[in-house]
A and B are shown apart, each in its own frame.
Chain A
Amino acid sequence: MPEEIREDDAGAMGESYYLNMGPQHPSMHGVLRLKLRLLGEEIQDAEPVIGYAHRAHEKMAENRIWPMFLPNTSRVDYLSGMIYNLAYCQAIEKMLDIEVPERAQYIRVIVSELNRISSHLLWIATYVMDIGGVTPFLYLWDDREIILDIMDRVTGSRLTYCYGRFGGVTMDVDDLFCEQTSAFLDRLVGRMVEYDKLVRKNVIFIQRSKGVGVIDADTCRQYGVTGPSLRAAGVAYDVRRAEPYGIYDRFDFEVPTLTEGDCLARYDVRVREIEEASKIIRQALRDLPGGLVMPEKPKKKFKPSPGETYFAVESARGHFGMYLVSDGSETPFKIKLRTPSFSNLAAMPKVLRGTMVADTIAIVGSIDIVLPEIDR
Chain B
Amino acid sequence: MSAVAPGLDGLLLTSAADDHNKTGFHHRHTCAAAELPAVARAFDAAGYYLEMLTAEDRRAELEKMRLVYTWNVLSNTPDRHLVQCDLEVGATAPSVVAVTAAADWMEREVYDMYGVRFDGHPDLKRILLPDDSDFHALLKDFGRIDGGGDAPVADDDGHAEET
Contact = CB atoms under 8 A, between A and B. Distances in A.
Interface of A: 50-51, 54, 56, 58-59, 62-65, 68, 94, 220-224, 226, 230, 235-237, 241-243, 297, 300-301, 307-312, 319, 321, 323, 325, 329-331, 333-334, 336, 338, 342-343, 346-347, 350, 375-376
A94 B21 CA distance: 8
A48 to B, nearest CB: 9
Interface string B128-158: 1110000001101001110011010110100
Given A59-B138, A224-B50, A346-B104, A329 B149 contact: yes
A242 B127 contact: no
A309 B23 contact: yes
Contact of B80 (A62, A307, A310, A334): A310
Contacts of A350: 101
Interface string B1-35: 00000000000000000001011110000000000
B87 interface: no
28 contacts: A58-B113, A58-B138, A59-B137, A63-B144, A63-B145, A94-B24, A220-B74, A221-B47, A221-B49, A221-B74, A222-B49, A222-B100, A223-B101, A224-B51, A226-B74, A230-B74, A237-B76, A242-B78, A308-B25, A309-B24, A310-B70, A310-B80, A321-B51, A329-B149, A331-B148, A331-B149, A336-B54, A347-B101
A240 to B, nearest CB: 11
B56 A334 contact: yes
A376 B151 contact: no
Contacts of A94: 22, 24
Main secondary structure of the interface of A (DSSP, over half): mixed
A66 B32 CA distance: 32
A243 B80 CA distance: 11
Contacts of B20: 243
Contacts of B82: 308, 310
A50 B78 contact: no
B91 interface: no
Given A310-B80, A310-B82, A330-B149, A59 B143 contact: yes
Nearest to B68: A323
B139 to A, nearest CB: 10
Contacts of B52: 321, 323, 336, 338
Contacts of B78: 242-243
Main secondary structure of the interface of B (DSSP, over half): loop
A309 B19 CA distance: 10
Greatest chain B CB density within 10 A among A62, A311, A331, A333 is at A62
B153 A301 contact: yes
B102 interface: yes
A310 B19 CA distance: 11
Contacts of B148: 62-65, 331
A64 B18 CA distance: 29
Contact of A338 (B23, B51, B101, B151): B51
Contacts of B137: 56, 59
A51 B127 contact: yes
A236 B136 CA distance: 38
A303 B67 CA distance: 24
Nearest to B48: A221
B41 to A, nearest CB: 13
A301 B56 CA distance: 23
Contacts of A236: 76
A237 B153 CA distance: 40
A54 B129 contact: yes
A330 B150 CA distance: 9
Contact of B129 (A51, A331, A342): A51
